[in-house]
Structure 1
Amino acid sequence: MMRRIAFLRSIEVQQAAPYLDALRDLPDGAEARLFYTDGHCGPEDFPGTAERLKPDITPDELADRLLEWGADGVISLSIPDEHAMRDALVKELLADAGVPVVMTGADATHLLSDKWETKRLLTEHDLVTPEGLLIDGDLLNSRALPVPAYATFLRWKAAQLGYPVLCKPLWDCMGNGISFLAGPEDLDRYLLNPHDGNVVMERCVSGELCSVEILGRPGDYLVQPLCWMGPAGGEPEFAFGQLRYSAPRPAADAAFAPVAEGLTKLCTRLGVHGAVDVDMIYSEGTYHVLEINPRVSGATSLSIAGSSVNTYAQLVKLLDGTWSAAQAAASAHRRLAFQFPVAELTAERLAAARARLNVVRANDFHIGGRTHPNMLITCEFADAPALGAALDELQARHGLTTPDVIAGIKELTARALAERQEEAHRVA
C-alpha cells in the first residue's frame, strides 16, 4: 500500500491546471505532496500539500528529502529536460531504497535530452528526421586545437544540407537558443558569435509543427491525439503566442499511424516509463521527427483536452500497477480543443468567456519576465456549429483575442466538421 506519493515539478504548476484535480482521489486514500522549485503553489493549485525546494537542488538532496518525508512512490512532472535529468537520477537513487519512481531511467533520459543522440536513434529505427550535423562547440569557439578550416567546413556542410538551416543547442528545449539561418550570410554572422557549446545544425523543414504525447511502460503504450502548433519553416516563434489545437484529421492521422508504431517500438527499446513528448513537422504527407522530450510537456494540457485521457491520472496508475493502455484508450472521448493567446484576463472578460465557451483554463504564463495571458477551451462536435458565433460575439463585445485567432478557430472547426462528415460517409 502506498500511503504517501510525491510529485516533482519544476515549472509553474498552474500550467497543469485543472487536470491535477484528478489526483484528489489517490488509491487507498494516499497523501499527495508536490515538491516544486519554481513559481508558487496554493491550496487551489494542487490537491494535497506542497513544499518549495531550492531551484538548484541536486538529485542526491532531492532523493534524501523524499526519503525523509516518507515517500512510498514518486511521479515526475518536471519540465524542461535538465530537470527531467535530475528526476531520472532520483529514480536511480531511490531504487536502492525500494521506492518506485514513474520516470524514464537516467541512461534513456540522457540520450533523449541530447538532440544528436536522439537523431541517431530515430535514424536507426527508420523514422524520418531532418538531415543534420553535430557541431563541436570547442572547435567552433576556438577552445581546443586550432582548426582554421572548421568554419569553412561548416559552410560547405550547410550548402550540402540546403538553406535554410537551423542551429540548435545540443542540450536545450522549448525553442530556446535556436538560430534560423536563411542563407550563407546568416551563417557567416552566426559564426562570428556562435552558441557557446555543442550545436546541431539541421535542414529546416517547412510544414506544420505538431507534437504527440506517448505514455505507458515498455510494451504497453498509449499514443495521445496529435496536437497541432502552427506553421514551421521560418524563425522560431513563442510556443504560447499562437493558436494551437487538437482535432481529428483523417488523412494526417492515417499517415501518422506507422510513425506512432515506430515511436512506441523505440520507447520500448529505451525503457520509457511515464510520458514522452515528440515534436514533429508534417510536410507533404511525411512526419519529420525533431525531438523526443523525456517528460510531460507544455502541450500535455492540450493533449488531455483533446482526448479526455488525463495524463496525470494515468501516471498514478503506472505507479500503483493498474496501468493498461487498452483501458486508457477505452476511456478516450475525442473533441475539439483550442489553446490561444488572449487579451488581459479581466474579471469581466473571463466571466463572458465562461458564459459562452467551455473554458478549461484561463491563466497567465510567466516566462522570461513577461506575462502571457492564455486560454484553453474544448468543444464537443455537437456544439461545434455554434462555436463561431459565440467567438464573434465575445470578440465584438470584449476583444477576447486577435482577429487572426478567431478566424483560425472558425476555419479549423469548419474543416474538422467537414472531414468528420466525409469520414462518416466513407465508413458507411
Structure 2
Amino acid sequence: MKLMFIGARLFEDVALYTEKHGITSVLTESNPDAPNQDLADVLHLVPRGMEGPKTVAIKEDVDGVVPLIGVDGPLLSLSSLKKDLEENYGIPVVTSPLKASSIAQNKYKTKKFLLENNLPTPPFQLINMDLSESHFNFPMVLKQGHGQGGVGIEVVNNHHEMIEYLEKFGNALAEDFVDGIEISVEVLGWKGDHIPLVPVYKGKTSPDGKHPLFKVKKSPLEIDGIDNSTNNEMIRELALKICRLMGVEGSADLDLIFDGEKNLVLEINTRPSGTRYLTAASCNINPLQEMVDMATGKWKSEQVQKNIKDYFAMEVPVGDFSTKRNSYLYRSFEESHGWIIHGPPHHQRITIRGETKKSVLKIAQSLKLPSLIEEPLY
C-alpha cells in the first residue's frame, strides 16, 4: 500500500502509524524549509498549488491521498483535486468535496447554510459603512467572510469601534456577542459514513476576543449546573446532522457556544482541527490516523465506535517548554507517560491524559505548568 500525503507540517502525527502498518509514504511539500520532510519514504518538493501533487500522485501510482493541511486557503483547490483524481484516475482523496468546503470556507455561506436548515446560530447581520438603518446590541463580534485563527475577528463595544473596524475592512458580518462556553467537536466521515467524537471545552467567551489557542482546554466537555451527558450527546447529534447535510469527508470540526440554555453553531471547518490532540487524549481516536485508514479502504464508523474510550484530558498553552519530547517519536499517550507536547516554538502546548481528573492534575502539577495559575482546571 502506497499513500501520498500533502503537507509536511502535520506528517509527524502519522509517520509512525504508516510505518507500523507497512504503508509506503510519499510526501509532497512546497516549502523547502518545512519540518518533518525526512520522515517520509519518498519526498517531492513541488510548487504551490495542486498541480504538483496531482502529477506526483499519478506518477507514483499511489493508492490514496491524505491532505495534511490545517489552513483554509487551499481547501477549495483540494476539493477540485479530489474530484479530478477520484473521477478520472480512481485515486481516493481524503478531504471534503466542493459543496462542503465552499460552505465551510466562507462565513457568509456558513450562516446561510445554517439558517436554511433551521440550525441554531447567534443572530447576525451583514453591514457596511452605511449604518443609518442598523441597530446593534453591543458588544458585537465582527468577522470577515474568510479567515481563521482569529484573523479579521474583533469584539466591538460601541459605534465608534465599529466604524474603526469598517474603515479597515469595508464590511463585516456582525454577530451578537454570546456570553457562554466555547466548544469544539470533531467529526469523521467517509463515503457517507460519519461519526462525531467527543465535545471539547475551550473556555468562556471573552469580550477581548482572546483565541481558544491561548486558553486551557478540557475534554470531555463539562458545564456546571446541567446534565452533561445529555448535552454532550445533543452536541454530537447536531454535529452529525450538519456533516451529513454538507457531505463532509475526512476530518472536520464544529465550533459552538453554549449560552446557558442551548448550543449555537459558529463555524464548520473541513480540515484537521486544532483540538485533535485533546480529542485523541480523551477518546483514544486520532483523527489523522483515521484519515489514513480511510485512504486504505478499511475505515468504518462502527469500528471507531468500538475503539472509543473514556479518559479525562486537558491542554495547556506553554509557549516554550524545554524538552526533547516534541517530536514524532512521542505522539502516543501510552508511550509518553500520559502527556504530549506539540506545536512550533513560542506556541507549544501540552496535552495530558488520565483515567481520572485527579491523575490529570497530578501530571500537570509535576510538570509545573505556568498556565495552571491563571485558570482552575477541574
TM-score, normalising length from structure 1?
A: 0.77
Given the superposition, is the C-alpha separation of residues 259 and 157 from structure 1 closer, same or farther in structure 2, using an over 3 Å criterion? farther
* Alignment map for 1:14-413 (pairs within 5 Å): 18=13, 20-26=15-21, 29-37=22-30, 40-42=34-36, 46=39, 48-54=41-47, 57-95=48-86, 96-135=88-127, 140=128, 150-153=129-132, 156-159=133-136, 162-191=137-166, 193-195=167-169, 199-217=172-190, 219-247=192-220, 249=222, 251-342=227-318, 344-347=320-323, 358-366=337-345, 371-381=346-356, 384-395=357-368, 400-405=369-374, 408-409=376-377, 412=378
- Displacement of 1:403: 4.2
1:425 matched residue in structure 2: none
Q: What runs of 5+ residues in structure 1 fail to find an aligned partner? A: 141-149, 413-428
Larger Rg: 1
- For the Cα contact (< 8 Å) 1:280–1:288, is it kept in 2? yes
- For the Cα contact (< 8 Å) 1:18–1:360, is it kept in 2? no
d(CA) in 2 for partners of 1:164, 1:80 = 28
Report the RMSD for the aligned CA atoms in angstroms.
2.8
- For the Cα contact (< 8 Å) 2:141–2:154, is it kept in 1? yes
- For the Cα contact (< 8 Å) 1:17–1:361, is it kept in 2? no
Given the superposition, is the C-alpha separation of residues 7 and 362 from structure 1 closer, same or farther in structure 2, using an over 3 Å criterion? same
Given the superposition, is the C-alpha separation of residues 124 and 78 from structure 1 closer, same or farther in structure 2, using an over 3 Å criterion? same
Given the superposition, is the C-alpha separation of residues 259 and 18 from structure 1 closer, same or farther in structure 2, using an over 3 Å criterion? closer
d(CA) in 1 for partners of 2:277, 2:310 = 14
Deviations 1:166-218 (A, max 9, x none): 11110111211101111222112223x2326x632111111111100000135
- Displacement of 1:331: 0.5
d(CA) in 2 for partners of 1:388, 1:259 = 26
d(CA) in 2 for partners of 1:107, 1:387 = 41
Given the superposition, is the C-alpha separation of residues 342 and 181 from structure 1 closer, same or farther in structure 2, using an over 3 Å criterion? same
Given the superposition, is the C-alpha separation of residues 269 and 124 from structure 1 closer, same or farther in structure 2, using an over 3 Å criterion? same
- Displacement of 1:223: 0.8
Identity %: 21
d(CA) in 1 for partners of 2:308, 2:40 = 24
Secondary structure class of the residue paired with 1:235: coil
- Displacement of 1:329: 0.9
The code of the aligned residue for 1:374 comes to R
Given the superposition, is the C-alpha separation of residues 331 and 214 from structure 1 closer, same or farther in structure 2, using an over 3 Å criterion? same
Given the superposition, is the C-alpha separation of residues 349 and 104 from structure 1 closer, same or farther in structure 2, using an over 3 Å criterion? closer
- Displacement of 1:121: 1.3
- For the Cα contact (< 8 Å) 1:278–1:289, is it kept in 2? yes
- For the Cα contact (< 8 Å) 2:92–2:295, is it kept in 1? yes
Given the superposition, is the C-alpha separation of residues 272 and 386 from structure 1 closer, same or farther in structure 2, using an over 3 Å criterion? closer
d(CA) in 2 for partners of 1:349, 1:114 = 37
d(CA) in 1 for partners of 2:362, 2:295 = 44
d(CA) in 2 for partners of 1:260, 1:207 = 18
Secondary structure class of the residue paired with 1:402: helix
- For the Cα contact (< 8 Å) 2:353–2:360, is it kept in 1? no
- Displacement of 1:284: 0.5
The code of the aligned residue for 1:109 comes to S
- For the Cα contact (< 8 Å) 2:184–2:255, is it kept in 1? yes
- For the Cα contact (< 8 Å) 2:66–2:291, is it kept in 1? yes
Secondary structure class of the residue paired with 1:317: helix
Moved more, 78-87 or 252-261: 252-261
d(CA) in 2 for partners of 1:19, 1:307 = 18
- For the Cα contact (< 8 Å) 1:76–1:103, is it kept in 2? yes
TM-score, normalising length from structure 2?
A: 0.86
d(CA) in 2 for partners of 1:108, 1:359 = 35
Count of aligned positions: 365
Given the superposition, is the C-alpha separation of residues 171 and 30 from structure 1 closer, same or farther in structure 2, using an over 3 Å criterion? same
d(CA) in 1 for partners of 2:173, 2:270 = 18
Moved more, 30-39 or 199-208: 30-39
